[in-house]
Structures are given as structure tokens and as C-alpha cells.
Amino acid sequence: MALISPSRRLRRTPFSEGVEAAGVSAYTVYNRMLLPTVFRSVEEDYHHLKAAVQIWDVACERQVELRGPDAGRLMQMLTPRDLRGMLPGQCYYVPIVDETGGMLNDPVAVKLSEDRWWISIADSDLLMWVKGIANGYRLDVLVDEPDISPLAIQGPKADDLMAAVFGDSVRDIRFFRFGHFDFQGRDMVIARSGYSKQGGFEIYVEGADIGMPLWNTLMEAGKPMDVRAGCPNGIERIEAGLLSYGNDMTDDNTPHECGLGRFCNTATAIGCIGRDALMRVAKDGPVKQIRAIVIDGRPPACDRAWPIMAGTKCVGHVTSANWSPDFNTGVGIGMVRMTHWDDGTNVVVETQSGPMAAVVKDRFWL
Ligand code: THG
């Protein structure tokens, strides 16, 4: 593919300078912002992520901030996950649905206080939907995109690197909880979370000016741990079953189809805009659902949805795929109709380079 032309519409991040110095070799566009996808090679990056520690520029995970007395009420209108038990200091993975129960985004919600929330969004224009709801319902809440850029520290040595910069107390942060830490006199929200199953943290960096000082400090402190710049890895995230909005699901899918039913409490999520629609689909259950797909061989780049065939019948689509060195097989994520979603079902995946034998699995690899 040809290069993408840089322009103001394609936003750089506070860490772009560091990413370029580290030798980034490919980007994607996410929320109209640069997101690195490859440094050395996807496979080399993958092995390093599983063995050491990486610093990821995930500034493209923009924050939709809700601020004001109606912030909590607005947040519950957006999601079928029951938020009543959520305390300040917690993060929740929350499906966001429209009035038909269709997925609009699958962000991480960060509850800073009763009247202040961040929605750390995947790749869709959620800000406009949230502003529309807030204004349409005349809610007492401010909705905007603050100057906050997440930086993820991922890998088995993430705790050691973070402790070297922020002190040993970062080790005590529990999964999907956050705390406040100081860096050069600036407050940093640090959560134990991230888009890999290798463990690690996300630093919500407030103010673009402190981005490179923090990046450089982490790179320096991580030398003994073989730290490198990295990015969400296209192999590891499939092994882990971490979904990619826009790829593995769209607004045509309900959370139940996406396998996100465990993050829905539709009966008790009073106020959720998609609640009535989801009550109906939750009753009978979905007729297609996300599955892990074992692909026999090295798949080409998954740049389109690949039909999943059972004989001459199309029974679903593979939407992400890669070669897994650790499992020595092709790995994929697909949406499969219920007639063929049982573990062990043999199918054929029609890639742009030709058909490949595949097997539907009911569990991901990690
Ligand atoms: N971190 C933050 N913001 C994000 C992402 C992130 N925004 C965009 C994108 N990633 C949103 N999508 C996801 C998908 C999966 C997870 C988080 C965000 C995730 N899932 C775990 C799982 O499914 O095993 C844990 C979910 C749980 O138990 O609550 O972490 O990565 N800030």
C-alpha cells in the first residue's frame, strides 16, 4: 500500500516524536489520530511484548469527559452495564449502545468522582453521540475531549519499570483500578489495564507538554528491562480475544453478538437508551456470535471481512487474522452463525488470496 499523506486532520500525538525516534515502521488511523502498528515487525514486536516491557503511544484512545451533577446519569444512559456499584477509583469495560442495541463503541469508563468520568474510547465518533444526548435531554453536564493522552506500559516487566519511575506503590494497583501519582509535579492517573493480556498499566497523561518528558524518563528507566517502544500487537490481541471496534464489530452488532453479554445487566441498567431493544434480543439470545477461528496456514493481511463457508453456504465472516508463532497456527476472530458456532466445527475461510481450511473454537488462546 502507498503512504498516507500527513496533514492537520490526521492528528499527531504528544508522543509522536518518541515513536518516530524509536523507528516506527507503520501506522494506522484511529479516532483521526496516528496509532503505531509496527516497529521492527509484528512478529518481533510480539515476542518482545511477551518477554519484556513496551511503551505504547495509545493517545488515540481519546477521552470523552463528563463533568457535572448529571455525569453519572448520562453515563448510565450510554451503557447496559449496571454502574450503581461502581466506585471512584474503578474502571469498567462498557459496551455503548444506540436505541436499537447496536454497538457504538466499547470503551473503558473511568470514574474519577461521582460527577467526573472519562470514557476512554475505541475508534468511533462517540463525542458527538454523547453531546447530542446531553443536550437533547437538557442534562446538567459538560461534555468535551480534554487534552489527555493514554500511554500504556505493557509486558511481564511492566511492574518493575513503573516502580522505577513512580515508586513501589504502583505495584499495589489492582486490575481495572487506578490511583493518582506524581511525575515532575504533575498529577497522573495510573490504572492497571491495557490492550494486551501480558499485564501492565495505562497512564492518563494530562497536558501534551509533559508527554515527551514522561516518555524519555520511562525509556531511560527501562534500559535494564530491555524496554522498547511498542503498540497494540495484531497477533497477541487475537490470541487474547480482545475485540477491535470497526473490525470485529460495528453498530450492526449487539453486545451479545460480540460476546460482551457478561458486561450487560440490561434488566437493572435503568435509563440505558438501548435497554428496551436489548431486553428483546437478550431474551432469545443472539443468532450469531464472535468466535475464535483456527486457520490452517499463514493468512494474508485481513483488510476485509472474509466469508466463512460451510459448503456453498456463508455462515459468518472472519474480521481479524494473523499468524501465531507461539501456537504455530493461523489465529482469527470471526462472527459465526449459531448453526456452525460449536467448538470444533470445520469451515473454509475465503481470503482475498484464496480459501483456507479453518476450525471454529469456543475459547481464545490466552
Ligand atoms: N484502554 C483504554 N482505552 C481503550 C482501550 C484500552 N479504548 C479503546 C479500546 N482499548 C477499547 N476496547 C477495549 C477492549 C478490551 C479491553 C479494554 C478496552 C479489555 N478487556 C479485558 C478482557 O476482555 O479480558 C478486561 C475486561 C474486564 O474484565 O473488565 O481490557 O485498552 N484506556
DSSP label at residue 112: E
* The ligand 1 atom nearest the CA atom of 263: 29
Residues of the chain above pLDDT 90, percent = 98
Write the CATH number for 302: 2.40.30.110
Look at residue 1 and tell me whether its pLDDT is greater than 90: no
Predicted model pTM: 0.98
Does residue 335 contact residue 316 with C-beta atoms inside 8 Å? yes
Q: Ligand 1 pocket check: which of 93, 149, 245, 247 to mutate, most ligand atoms within 8 Å of Cβ? A: 93
Clarify whether residues 52 and 151 are in a common domain. Answer: yes
Q: Ligand 1 pocket check: which of 31, 35, 110, 120 to mutate, most ligand atoms within 8 Å of Cβ? A: 120
Atom 8 in ligand 1: which residue has the minimum CA distance? Answer: 122
- Counting Cβ atoms within 10 Å, is residue 113 exposed (0-12), middle (13-18) or buried (19+)? exposed
Which of these, 323, 329, 335, lies nearest to 292 by C-alpha position?
335
Question: Residue 260 Cα, ligand 1 centroid: separation in angstroms?
Answer: 12
- Counting Cβ atoms within 10 Å, is residue 248 exposed (0-12), middle (13-18) or buried (19+)? buried
Clarify whether residues 152 and 228 are in a common domain. Answer: yes
Clarify whether residues 184 and 35 are in a common domain. Answer: yes
Task: Tell me the average pLDDT of the chain.
Answer: 98
First to last CA, the chain: 31
Domain that holds residue 174: 16-61+147-237
> pLDDT tens, 34-45?
999 999 999 999
**Structure confidence at residue 68 (pLDDT):** 98
**Structure confidence at residue 283 (pLDDT):** 87
Q: Confirm whether 227 is domain-assigned.
A: yes
Phi, psi of 294 (to 5 degrees): -85, 120
**103-105 and 108-113: which strand pairing?**
unpaired
Does residue 105 contact residue 96 with C-beta atoms inside 8 Å? yes
Mean pLDDT of all residues in 246-270: 97
> pLDDT tens, 111-122?
999 999 999 999
Last residue of a domain, one of 99, 115, 144: 144
Write the CATH number for 139: 3.30.70.1400
Q: Ligand 1 pocket check: which of 65, 106, 195, 205 to mutate, most ligand atoms within 8 Å of Cβ? A: 195
* Cβ neighbours of 363 (radius 10 Å): 9
**Structure confidence at residue 2 (pLDDT):** 85
Clarify whether residues 101 and 38 are in a common domain. Answer: no
Number of structural domains (the chain) is 3
* The ligand 1 atom nearest the CA atom of 93: 29
Question: Residue 194 Cα, ligand 1 centroid: separation in angstroms?
Answer: 6
